[in-house]
Structure 1
Amino acid sequence: MTDRAGTADETGGRGTPSAETPPDGALLQAMFADLGTGLYLTDGAGRISAVNPRAAELLGRPAETMLGADAHDLLHRDAEGGIIPRSACGLWGVLERGRPACGECAAFLRGDGDLLPVSWTASPIRRNGRVRAAAVLFADASAQRAAAGRRSDRLAALERLTERLAVASEAGAVLAQIPEVDEALRRLGRLLVPRLAEWAVVDLCTGPQEVRRAVVVPPEGYSGDPVWEGPLPPVSEGSGAPLARALRGGEALLLGPDDIAAPADAPLAQAQRELFSVFGATSVIITPLRTARRVLGALTVARTDPSRPFDAAELALLDDIGRRTGLAVDGARLTVRQREVAETMQRHLLSPLPQPGRLRLAARYRPAPEGSEAGGDWYDALVLADGVTAMVVGDVLGHDLRAAARMAQLRNMLRSVAWDRVEPPSLILDRLEHAVLAVGDPALATVAMARIEGPQEGPWQLHWASAGNPPPLLVTEDGDARHLEAGQNLMLGVEWHDIGDRHDAVEPLPAHSTVLFYTNGLVHAPGDDLGAAMERLRRHAAALARHPLEEFCDRLLERVPRGGADDLALIALRVPDIGEDA
């Protein structure tokens, strides 16, 4: 019984060691020797007092060479191998503060001088309530550090990709929103510098071998000669220089220091080398600006930092931007040519005004602002078969070459219909609509037509009708101005009307008064209130009541609000005094 009780006391009555009974020394020594994690012990002063085999293996040092050494001075390093101040060392703080601590990816100095990334945990060892030693467990963290590095590299690559996609997207937006070629290219250069390069240049082909330096965006802080834009030497067929190759239709090129320093073999290459010399360059990309049919120029971007050369991904990005730029330049040039054709056609169709008897006529046409396509606005005046003077203004809806062609068709048809018989303007507009819907190319249009009726010596009256056009403006000599609303009708082409559905209006014309017919472009601008614009025109015309007719028209054009995207036409009539000499 006594023996069984003694055994129970020793085993806690369950055949297992008591929680208060430490393992025997042999077991502790075996655990110390076979532990798969590095372990070293220090005394209270931080000197190494024991090292297990795994620690000696990881550190590449025999255990006996470490015994008695200061653990901090011998082992503890930062990630770059620098000595850590004791005040900043988490391991040293375990002895000073008496609290456990742990850390990731610090470094221990190995015997061969290499750094061992480690994850560690350290605990103070107390006796009689005082810290007498510390135990440090550590493991090789090379795999974790490598994984963290890979994650960091992937994150950096993702950030670079995001930035490149943003640059490509913004470049596309810049090229799409700015119709004027040089301004769009200048904004593109300012987008690329400094986000992607230290400086950038755009050269455009102006002939079979002729080149113009259209845009130069110098490095930030450059204060030298700003005159770099302008004509360049011609492209030589025999030149192997990168710029010449790109302008002849070659692929995008990535140049290193040796390529940049290569001797110039033609005047164009020498001009490029001068730019490299002045701005500096250690890495350069030259990409052609091309479409499927031809090369329109070249984009050159450069970096000056040797540690940050362009890579293959950036070459592909700039090659893509080069293609987008080439398409944008080609589209802009095509738009300009189309606009010039339409504008030329419009101006040729606007025949000289008659000056019938003592009545005076003046007209103006202004094309849409730069970057907008041509429209279908026109004016006209003619003496009809009965000797009455007619004035017309109109606008075919649309802003392209087709609208201009329809305008020409409508103008000629109106002349024929008006000459065919003596009729009120409303009937002429009805017959014009029937003719267009029956035999022409149907188009929505606004037209206003007036007959200036009266004997040669006066007085006269305005006999008019409008199909959707803004109401004419009557300005008397004393500055009273008002819009004439009575003759307004539905625009042409909306629906089939019977002849006679539209109505006319008649207005007496006082001596020295001015009648103004105009299209919507004279009063309309994006975001502008039409009612306020009409009132603004009325006030301006009233203020110009006594100005000569030509000056009256010019001054009205000067006051047209900027920002509109429409062309405009106007025609004005000045009435003389009754019996006044011509």
Structure 2
Amino acid sequence: MSAQSGGRARDAEQFAASQHRLGSWLAGLEAGAYAVDADGAIVAVNGEAEALLGRSAEDLLGRDAHDLLHRDGNGMTIPRSRCPMMEAFVARRTRQEELAYFERGDGTLLSMSWLVSPLRLGADEVGALVVFHEHESAARHLRGPALSMELLPELERLALLAETTTQLTSTLDVDEALDRLVRLVVPLLADWAIIDLISDNDEVWRTVVAHEENGRLVRREDLEGAMPPVPPASPQPLSRALRGGGSTLATPETYQGPPDSGIAVEQRRLFEGTGMHSAVIAPIRGLREVLGALTLGRSDRPDPFTGTDIPLLEDITRRAGLALDNARLYQRQRKVSETMQRHLLPQMPRVPGLEMAARYLPAPHASQVGGDWYDAFRLPDQALALVIGDVVGHDLDAAADMAQLRNILRAYAWSQQEPPSVVVSHVDEALSHISEVEMATMILGRLETDADGQWMLRWTNAGHPPPLLVAYDGQSRYLDDGHGILLGSHVSMPREDATVVLPPLSTLVLYTDGLIESPGRSLDDGLERLRRNAAALAHRPLEAFTDLLMERARPDDNDDDVALLVVRVPSEDGPDL
């Protein structure tokens, strides 16, 4: 069940969590660093920057970085149009300066060297990362000697590590994370990137073998695939890395001797197939286990890797390991959630003459489960119970509440041969005593044939969007009768039943509000969109009708889960229930 206030709360929580993660990343940098959003306001800062600037995080966060900090050598504010950092920020380019000035909290100037680089803060927002070191002294600069060139690679290294963290932790898809990792290191650090991953059942899979050709990454799928098991004692570099050993340099000669394992054979094949003359191999470690290994290789550039390259590679694999660990954990949770949702949502019963179809689509940013549900089951008198409902929320708690409510409703509907309004009233009274459900909406209907063989629906509506009835000729209308207050309101009000005859070959559409609600338009607009699309699809086979209706009616900016239950009655000479 969506609500504007709930959306704002979720946005605030997501922003706070994102800001916390960004602050944690900056804390790992060995230099002053702060991040700004797309408007140039500071959104995160590390302790080193606070010390260098003589300003607390509270004084920095939310302030315009240019107005607060950027100064010329005389302490005057630099016009934005002449500020090289602002130029790079607006152009979304990486740029560095050997000597510039920030204003400290006490009004004095900090002479420093800086690097600015674009920083993706979210799916649609790009800010910037600023990394800076204190210059040795302004006086030394005025005498003429330039800044040590050793500092520039350090700034570039810090910027690369920050970008690695940002890129890898902003996705929970393993394949996407691996692709981003390869693009970060090729061709900047290496001509080739090879990623070997260990699966949950301890099998090794050569997941990526990639290099750059004419400005684009090309995969060597012939060199990818299943790998032999990790030998328990092999001293060879990849075998050691996959066991969690230290990082190692390797050359073709490393694997030219008699192979000590199947992995050594595959490594010889790799060097021959790629033409690499130098490689460095590092383990990818998660929080609890070794996840795999990253190999960087050089074939085109002549300079080989050296031991001084290992610390940077290990910094990259450390960040990659944390990102992959999170992505794998998310995928495991998602698989569990999908399995849970499949078991919570029922299979449609077979009813002679009736066609039924149902769909469930989870909220895009939730746990693949939620509080929306549908149900259909036979009652003791052979009538068919139809249910559509929505428990507040779209997460695991909502799914658990939904399961409780569904089971309570089934028990009452089966044991009491009462009209839908009476059954729902009993359910509402019981919720606060035997469940954790706080608030929910629901429609309960009884579908059966009368003495004349006509299909009749008797229903009650507890605060839910109204059912939609679509005739075979495309005429459509909402069934607004039988409407009552939602469940969990603790207000004692009588509920009503409504009855309608379903024309031959008509289609009944029960749905949850995720199919019609959108932040960008009114509820009436959503209802009209659903009605028009359903009418246009009236002649379609039911499965196609259901899929196309979900596709066309669901808002693009929907952030809620959706349940859809569709029933089509037979022609006049069809079987009775």
Amino acid corresponding to residue 181 of structure 1 in structure 2: V
Amino acid corresponding to residue 395 of structure 1 in structure 2: D
What are the residue-to-residue correspondences of 1:424-503 with 2, within 5 Å? 424-452=419-447, 455-489=450-484, 491-493=486-488, 495-498=489-492, 500=493, 502-503=495-496
Amino acid corresponding to residue 386 of structure 2 in structure 1: M
* Cα distance change on mapping 1:438 and 1:302 into 2, 3 Å: same
What are the residue-to-residue correspondences of 1:146-545 with 2, within 5 Å? 151-153=147-149, 156-157=150-151, 159-206=152-199, 209-221=202-214, 226-251=221-246, 253-255=247-249, 263=257, 265-281=260-276, 284-304=279-299, 305-307=301-303, 309=305, 312=308, 315-356=310-351, 360-368=354-362, 373-376=367-370, 377-385=372-380, 387-452=382-447, 455-489=450-484, 491-493=486-488, 495-498=489-492, 500=493, 502-523=495-516, 532-545=525-538
Cα deviation, residue 254, structure 1: 4.4
Structure 1 counterpart of 2:565: 571
Contact 1:339 1:401 in 2 (8 A): no
After superposition, what is the alpha-carbon deviation per residue over 1:256-315, rounded to whole angstroms, capped at 9, x for unaligned? 669857745433133234334444546533222222321111122234545474664x53
Alignment partners' CA distance in 1, 2:412 and 2:205: 52
Structure 2 counterpart of 1:100: none
Alignment partners' CA distance in 2, 1:467 and 1:321: 55
With structure 1 as the length reference, what TM-score do the two structures score?
A: 0.64
Contact 2:211 2:218 in 1 (8 A): no
Alignment partners' CA distance in 2, 1:215 and 1:174: 18
* Cα distance change on mapping 1:302 and 1:570 into 2, 3 Å: same
Alignment partners' CA distance in 2, 1:173 and 1:354: 48
Contact 2:358 2:564 in 1 (8 A): yes
- Runs of 5+ unmatched residues, structure 2: 1-138
Equivalent position SS for 1:466: strand
Cα deviation, residue 515, structure 1: 0.6
**Which deviates the most, 240-249 or 510-519?**
510-519
Contact 1:363 1:569 in 2 (8 A): no
Amino acid corresponding to residue 151 of structure 1 in structure 2: L
Contact 1:282 1:309 in 2 (8 A): no
Structure 1 counterpart of 2:30: none
Amino acid corresponding to residue 172 of structure 2 in structure 1: P
Give the greater-gyration-radius structure (CA). Answer: 1
Equivalent position SS for 1:463: strand
Alignment partners' CA distance in 2, 1:380 and 1:326: 43
Amino acid corresponding to residue 157 of structure 2 in structure 1: R
* Cα distance change on mapping 1:192 and 1:501 into 2, 3 Å: farther
Structure 2 counterpart of 1:556: 549
Alignment partners' CA distance in 2, 1:148 and 1:267: 59
Alignment partners' CA distance in 2, 1:244 and 1:371: 39
After superposition, what is the alpha-carbon deviation per residue over 1:73-103, rounded to whole angstroms, capped at 9, x for unaligned? xxxxxxxxxxxxxxxxxxxxxxxxxxxxxxx
After superposition, what is the alpha-carbon deviation per residue over 1:539-579, rounded to whole angstroms, capped at 9, x for unaligned? 33212323343443344345466786655432222234556
Match of 2:540 among 543, 547, 552: 547
Equivalent position SS for 1:286: strand
Cα deviation, residue 209, structure 1: 4.8
After superposition, what is the alpha-carbon deviation per residue over 1:339-371, rounded to whole angstroms, capped at 9, x for unaligned? 33333333334444344565x141223454899
Amino acid corresponding to residue 194 of structure 1 in structure 2: P
Cα deviation, residue 412, structure 1: 0.8
* Cα distance change on mapping 1:526 and 1:363 into 2, 3 Å: farther
Alignment partners' CA distance in 2, 1:289 and 1:437: 50
* Cα distance change on mapping 1:520 and 1:192 into 2, 3 Å: farther
After superposition, what is the alpha-carbon deviation per residue over 1:356-413, rounded to whole angstroms, capped at 9, x for unaligned? 565x141223454899632133321123355532200223344444443333222111
Structure 2 counterpart of 1:70: none
Which structure has the higher relative contact order (CA within 8 Å, separation 6+)? 2
* Cα distance change on mapping 1:460 and 1:337 into 2, 3 Å: same
Give the alignment's Cα RMSD to 1 decimal. 3.7
* Cα distance change on mapping 1:224 and 1:460 into 2, 3 Å: closer
Alignment partners' CA distance in 2, 1:148 and 1:391: 84
Structure 1 counterpart of 2:47: none
After superposition, what is the alpha-carbon deviation per residue over 1:498-547, rounded to whole angstroms, capped at 9, x for unaligned? 2x355554444223221111234545678787655543432332123233
* Cα distance change on mapping 1:198 and 1:533 into 2, 3 Å: farther
Alignment partners' CA distance in 2, 1:177 and 1:445: 34
Amino acid corresponding to residue 569 of structure 2 in structure 1: V
**Which deviates the most, 518-527 or 327-336?**
518-527
Alignment partners' CA distance in 2, 1:355 and 1:456: 22
* Cα distance change on mapping 1:144 and 1:508 into 2, 3 Å: closer
- What is the identity percentage for the equivalent residue pairs of Structure 1 and Structure 2? 44
Contact 2:476 2:531 in 1 (8 A): yes
After superposition, what is the alpha-carbon deviation per residue over 1:465-511, rounded to whole angstroms, capped at 9, x for unaligned? 33444332110111012333445555444x4232x355554444223
Structure 2 counterpart of 1:84: none
Equivalent position SS for 1:300: strand
* Cα distance change on mapping 1:506 and 1:273 into 2, 3 Å: same
Amino acid corresponding to residue 180 of structure 1 in structure 2: D
Alignment partners' CA distance in 2, 1:300 and 1:261: 15
Contact 2:338 2:368 in 1 (8 A): yes
What are the residue-to-residue correspondences of 1:123-142 with 2, within 5 Å? none
* Cα distance change on mapping 1:214 and 1:479 into 2, 3 Å: same
* Count of residue pairs the alignment pairs up: 432
With structure 2 as the length reference, what TM-score do the two structures score?
A: 0.64
Contact 1:219 1:279 in 2 (8 A): no
Alignment partners' CA distance in 1, 2:208 and 2:524: 43
Equivalent position SS for 1:546: coil
After superposition, what is the alpha-carbon deviation per residue over 1:178-200, rounded to whole angstroms, capped at 9, x for unaligned? 33212221122112222333321
What are the residue-to-residue correspondences of 1:66-81 with 2, within 5 Å? none
Structure 1 counterpart of 2:110: none
